[in-house]
Amino acid sequence: MKRTKNAWALTLMILCGVVLGGFIGTLTEGVSWLSWLGYGQTFGFSSPLVLDLGVLAITFALTIKITIASIIGVVIAILIYRLL
């Protein structure tokens, strides 16, 4: 019997890898020999985009920070997904 893999499971695993990797990268910024895990790039809107319709004001903002630890987390998540 062939098992099919779910794309939603892969997406969830990658999201968990990004979150855990980013968390580990933030935690290790203060450790001198692990500070390289927190190295990365932040991109997105520097200031929020505001759409004011008079009655309703909507604010859009998006900032993404990619670090070495989050990339490692994504790779580990994909490897775990492939093993399942």
Judge contact between 72 and 18, C-beta under 8 A: no
Is residue 39, in this structure, part of any structural domain at all?
A: yes
Q: How many domains does the chain have?
A: 1
Q: Which of 81, 74, 84 is nearest to 20 (CA)?
A: 74
What pLDDT is attached to residue 12? 92
The predicted pLDDT at position 68 comes to 92
Within a domain: residue 22? yes
Asked if 74 and 20 touch (Cβ cutoff 8 Å), the reply is no
1 found inside a domain = no
> Would you state the pLDDT for residue 75?
94
| Res 6: pLDDT | 83
The residues of the chain scoring below 70 in pLDDT are 1-4
Give the predicted TM-score (pTM) of the model: 0.75
Q: Closest by alpha carbon to 77, among 11, 7, 28, 8?
A: 11
Retrieve residue 41's tokens.
């790039």
Domain of 68? 7-83
| Cβ contact 80:13 at 8 Å | yes
For residue 24, being part of any structural domain is answered with yes
Can you tell me whether residue 41 is helix, strand or coil? strand
Residue 2 domain flag: no
Q: Is residue 12 part of a domain?
A: yes
